[in-house]
Homo-oligomer: A and B are copies of this chain.
Amino acid sequence: MSGYKKLLERARQLHHLYSAVALMEWDLETYMPKGGVDSRSEAIAFLSRRLHENFISKEMGELIENALADPDLTEAQRKNVLIMKEDYEKAKKLPPEFVEEFSKTTSKAFVVWQEAKHKSDFSLFKPYLAKIVELNIEKANLLGWEKHPYDALLSEYDKSATTELVEKVFSTLKEQFVDFVQDLLDRENIDDSFLRKYYDKQKQWEFTVFVLKKLGYPFDKGRMDYSEHPFTIGINIGDVRITTKANEYLLGDMLLSSVHEMGHALYDLGLPTEAPGTPMSESTSLSIHESQSRFWENYIARSLPFWEHFYTALQGFFHEHLSDVSLWKFYRALNKVSRCPIRIQSDELTYHFHIMIRYELEKALIERRLTVDDLPHEWNTRYKAYLGIDIKNDAEGVLQDVHWSHGTIGYFPTYSLGTFYGAQFLFAMERDIPELWQLVREGNFTPIHQWLQKNIWSHGKLLTSEEIAKFATGEGLNVHYFIQYARNKYLPIYEGELETV
């Protein structure tokens, strides 16, 4: 067997182990009886550790070297091995004792965070967060960095993301976007009260499944179930599942969150299948992942042409509340911008204020310009400044997100980067498919799949986020597309120009 084939075989074996862990996690969040929780957590921890140990083993290093020495490698195969080597060497930089300590700390921190949030008392979580910050600084140093320690953390989630890039993007937003949104927030001329009536869970489920099928989520290669928090999980080739959550007093919530997850799932399903467990068959970054989920959620499923296609069906499902609501009124309500203290409940514009706040605080913590003691005050001050909100307590403030308790710092910015990549893809897609919105209006989403397949999904991890952006759009991340998108969409919504639709 050739060196490359041997490497593929070993990668496939590790992928089977990964697949077992993924299924265990899916089951834990969906159907597992609660009596299994202790054994399950132990099993997941054991198999994950085993997976990591196998990946950073000497044997894997040798397999990689032998594959590189394989004389018959194609260019793509060579690149695949080189990126795998990069990942391997990076993974080896974190000694097992460090990984162990990190994992022990965050296991505890997660439990304490839950309690602290429940009691709305940041002081309980504070010592754990302080430790997590220290571990992240150590992690950055172990991984190595040139310009900024935060770069090392970012690169765990997106190899081509840098502090410089994030800084540039957010400062552009501050100059050209924040005022615009704050102005919209002051208008308060949209009525969305009809979205907050009672909408039967089962009917919402059926409408959601109907839409997902039309959008092209293949239910023979995935499934949808309920879970506490919606997520997407790739169990294996041909099996990528999503979950959703019911909110019977907010129409649109289940649908949009399911479409979001579907965007993630389509990306995973669209990755090349020939080399499971190697970069070629993996997604490139969390940013690009988020570009896909938000593309479908915001740019498609919150668009007017989308609802020109689907609104009558929605009215049919919920005629008791919607038969007198016009498409335009519905569309405006669905896109209402509002002052919301909770990130995951916020609209597509103010969402980025939430991310900017987290990014500023994370960076300051890593630079040691702030300590965890300063956090609640700094958090609340920023919410007042950006959103005009008085944060009432720690639970709706600094304790709202789970991420820090998991030890992830440098993760939040990928949500915004992804959204902005998505907007940039949208403009390129409009250029490449001039009839795009007419197709959406007709319920034909196949050309979108084809465009994403060719431009995004097919690259696996052989291109970075920035390289994918250049391939698909001709340039690296440019936040102006998003700003332009926001103006094009929200001025008519707020100035009622299309009232006649």
Contacts and interface: CB of A to CB of B under 8 A. Distances in A.
A223 B235 CA distance: 22
Interface stretch (A36-44, A285-293, A348-356, A415-423): A36-44
B16 A46 contact: yes
Interface string A211-233: 00000001111110100000000
A33 B238 contact: yes
A242 to B, nearest CB: 11
Interface stretch (A23-31, A55-63, A470-478): A23-31
A40 to B, nearest CB: 6
A253 interface: no
B39 A238 contact: yes
A17 B17 CA distance: 9
Contacts of A42: 16
A32 B47 CA distance: 21
A416 B36 CA distance: 32
A16 B36 contact: no
Nearest to A36: B239
Given A13-B46, A42-B16, A43-B19, A239 B33 contact: yes
A369 interface: no
Interface in A222-260: 222-223, 225, 235-239, 241
A142 interface: no
A14 to B, nearest CB: 10
Given A36-B236, A221-B36, A238-B35, A43 B27 contact: no
Contact of A39 (B13, B19, B21, B218): B19
A275 interface: no
A452 interface: no
B32 A16 contact: no
B239 A47 contact: no
Contacts of A223: 31, 33
Nearest to A45: B16
A393 B276 CA distance: 45
8 contacts: A20-B24, A20-B43, A20-B47, A23-B27, A31-B31, A33-B219, A36-B235, A38-B237
